[in-house]
Structure 1
Amino acid sequence: MSVNLESLPLMENEYKLTPEQIDSYQKDGHIFLRNVMSQDEVDQYGPIISDLVMQKNYHDKPISERDTYGKAFIQVGNLWKMSEQVARYVLAKRFANIAADLMGVDGVRIYHDQALFKEPGGGHTPWHQDQIYWPLEGNKTITMWMPLVPVPEEVGTMTFASGSYHKGFISKVEISDESHRTLGEYIQGKNIPQVNYGAMAAGDATFHAGWTLHSAPGNPTDLARKVMTIIYYADGTRVAEPDSNARRNDLAGWLPGCKGGDVAVSPLNPLVYKR
């Protein structure tokens, strides 16, 4: 989709958070924010992102023939490197400012973006922790999860295990049927409260910490659940020694040229907000 870059909104203005919202995030490891983008902004960026995702969709099998992970969504990362128009969305100061405020840090870098489109009939997203994949030290990591279309309650937004990120690393099991079973049992056994925010409008967003346990149901409707995510980490974060194939792959793909102990900076990780 060809759109003049200069006609797209910059989204540099601040989204004001209250002290109560910041406290809530830092306690629970997740938060729901309304109208992070206006409907006009969604109308301009949504079709551009959707068109690019469908161009880059790598699935060549029907949903019924895929594994659990493949059934969960069409997944495309680093769209910002593929399109100047999408880069204007991903690198938006407004989103990065929210991420910095919630984490209580002075600056944030992009780890990567990721489109997660759950197709009609798409399967559930098993319980998992994002940061088992990320070779990043500490807990100052956060993901913005933003639907580009309305997400009715029956389609399913994410469910979060409140406060679970304070535990840090819980299990090395990658996202799978096994992670859904074992982490689900962990949540039940520890009586960890689960929160689902219900229906979301296009342009609403949730933010969750990298260690926050979360899952999402399948999509029983005839409409795709189109979601764009952006992962941020605090400026100055160091690279963790990769202790799994997943982290070794992420290190090579998302932090090229970096090694364990380095400050996490590469051409793929621009500083998108600094106080």
Structure 2
Amino acid sequence: MHTFFTLLQSSIMHRRVSSRRMVSSFINFTLLPRDIQAYKRDGVICLRGVLSPAECAEMYQASMEFMIENKGRIRYAKDDKRFFSAGFMSDTIPMFERFAKHSQLPCIAAQLMDNVKMVRFFYDQLFIKTPGAQARTAWHNDLSYWPFRGNDLISIWCALTPVTRKSSGIEYILGTHLNKILYRAITPDEDEKFIDPSRVACPDFSQNPSILSWDMEAGDVLCHHPLTVHGSGANNSLTDQRIGLSLRYLGEDVSWYPSNYVMQIPRDLKQLVVGEYPADDKVFPPIYIHND
């Protein structure tokens, strides 16, 4: 049976104060111990009211403009153009870059990655399911798509619109990050370049009793481990768009492991060494440093 939490079942109990030490300007956002414990146990948490209405409005507008312009690294679902996704907007669009690097999100990432002293920015990704989009997001874990190994990586999925199960709320399988299984990647358009035959296909978890999802308001965020299995259904609302902007951050135990079956990063990667920490500040800029 699915577990689905509403906004009323979670209260905002976090503190925001000015940062004390930074590489770039960000907002400190202190998590509760129970948030960190839940993340370690379940591989995902929902934080309420992280983004201000102004931040949501600004990024909603930027996301809609990006979709309408139809430029950049974009994908559509194989059989449904109403499911739009894109990545690396922050590499070329200042508004996306500011949001990814100069918000409270890097501080949240640091705390959930065992209070790492440095957080690097990986990339951003946009997901838009317009009203009536029937394409589902297949069960998967994020690390299968990425050229890394390690535990200190995180995705922070920001709701820029209200999200319900009807409008394609994300569903998670609790605790699957602890299994450390990299499933075969599958993109919305079923791009064969990502299909690694050496990996097993992700099972169909739709009847799994450990499914967890949340109703969300714009400004709420989901933080999940890159091995946590998740997916989402169709947007069965005929009036509401579902827009999620996902930010990916790196911690300190990450190693660089490119292959033919992972995403190709549109940056100068010549200085990166296979099996070593990706310490190139131009490719993966440090955006948070915490000194005791």
What TM-score comes out, normalization by structure 2 length? 0.77
Instruction: Write the distance in 1 (CA, Å) between the matches of 2:244 and 2:185.
Output: 24
Instruction: Write the distance in 2 (CA, Å) between the matches of 1:31 and 1:85.
Output: 26
Which residue number in structure 2 is paired with residue 102 of structure 1? 112
Report the aligned-residue RMSD.
2.9
Which residue number in structure 2 is paired with residue 111 of structure 1? 122
When residues 60 and 168 of structure 1 are mapped into structure 2, their CA distance, relative to the original with a 3 A threshold, is closer
Q: How far did residue 201 of structure 1 move?
A: 0.7
Q: How far did residue 97 of structure 1 move?
A: 0.5
- Unaligned residue ranges in structure 2 (runs of 5+): 1-23
| 3-state SS, counterpart of residue 31 of structure 2 | coil
Q: Deviations over 1:212-249 (max 9, x none)?
A: 00011111223321111101111452212x35x222x4
Which residue number in structure 2 is paired with residue 227 of structure 1? 244
Instruction: Give the ranges of 4+ consecutive aligned residues of structure 1 lying more than 4 Å apart after TM superposition.
Output: 57-61, 185-188
Is 2:27 the counterpart of 1:16?
Answer: no
1:79-228 alignment runs, 5 A limit: 79-104=89-114, 105-122=116-133, 123-175=135-187, 183-185=202-204, 193-197=210-214, 199-221=215-237, 222-228=239-245
Equivalent pair of 1:112/1:268 in contact (CA under 8 Å): no
Structure having the higher strand fraction is 2
What TM-score comes out, normalization by structure 1 length? 0.81
When residues 137 and 153 of structure 1 are mapped into structure 2, their CA distance, relative to the original with a 3 A threshold, is closer
Structure having the higher helix fraction is 1
- Give the counterpart letter for 2:130 in structure 1: E
Equivalent pair of 1:93/1:273 in contact (CA under 8 Å): no
Equivalent pair of 2:110/2:251 in contact (CA under 8 Å): yes
Instruction: Write the distance in 2 (CA, Å) between the matches of 1:170 and 1:237.
Output: 16
Instruction: Write the distance in 1 (CA, Å) between the matches of 2:73 and 2:132.
Output: 14
When residues 120 and 111 of structure 1 are mapped into structure 2, their CA distance, relative to the original with a 3 A threshold, is same
Q: How many residues align?
A: 253
Q: Which is further off, 262-271 or 115-124? A: 262-271
Equivalent pair of 1:72/1:125 in contact (CA under 8 Å): no
When residues 67 and 52 of structure 1 are mapped into structure 2, their CA distance, relative to the original with a 3 A threshold, is closer
Which residue number in structure 1 is paired with residue 283 of structure 2? 268
Instruction: Write the distance in 2 (CA, Å) between the matches of 1:54 and 1:150.
Output: 21
Instruction: Write the distance in 1 (CA, Å) between the matches of 2:55 and 2:72.
Output: 28
When residues 26 and 81 of structure 1 are mapped into structure 2, their CA distance, relative to the original with a 3 A threshold, is same
Equivalent pair of 1:11/1:94 in contact (CA under 8 Å): no
Identical pairs, percent: 24
Q: Deviations over 1:192-222 (max 9, x none)?
A: 611111x211111001011000011111223
